[in-house]
Amino acid sequence: MSLVELIGQADERGLAASGLACLDRCIPLLGGDDEVLRPLWAGLADDAGAAEWGERLEQVRGKLIGEFGAGDISGSGSGSGSGEDEAVLLARRMLAAAPVERSAAGVRAWADACSVAALRIHRLLDPLKDAGDSVDARREGRTEGMSPLVAAELRRQITVLELLAGHGPAGLRPALEVSTEGRRVLRAVVSRRSRRRG
């Protein structure tokens, strides 16, 4: 099943986990520590956490907005500048777009947007060129000529959705482990790019 199909069939918890996992893997671009999203992950484990999602989300935003400020986080930048600048902007928008109310409709739109943004981020930061015209083709299952970083991110997105679809709340822990692995990879990529510039 393609990524688009998996998102289309996912329930509210699976969608929230999918969007959160995409954001989690991109945390290195926002300067956040590895534990900053843990309260949101914890809230997905039970239905009671849905009521606290908005409050926890605002706390996370408060920690991550930091130096770039509330005005910039959802800014409509032109996308000009370096690939890393654009990647950071995409990550900020992922956080800004997270719905305060964890409803199925709200998290579906967010999960879909996060999926696209995370793949674009990995495409921008991959030192090897992705041969596809767009990330939409990748999400629909056309995977020929994928660059390694994009291929790995696509695989992680699919895995997270499959884990939640197959195991419900019990799939959250392995989904978090998948996301943690991806975060380490992206942190290493960002670090290497920083060293090359230095």
pLDDT tens-digit profile of 30-77? 988 899 999 999 999 877 778 899 999 999 999 887 644 443 434 444
Calpha distance 151→130 (Å, rounded): 9
Q: What angle do CA 31, 32, 36 make, to 5 degrees?
A: 175
| pLDDT at residue number 198 | 62
What does the pLDDT look like over 130-166, one tens digit per residue? Answer: 887 789 999 999 888 899 999 999 999 999 999 999 9
192 Cβ neighbours under 8 A, 6+ residues apart: none
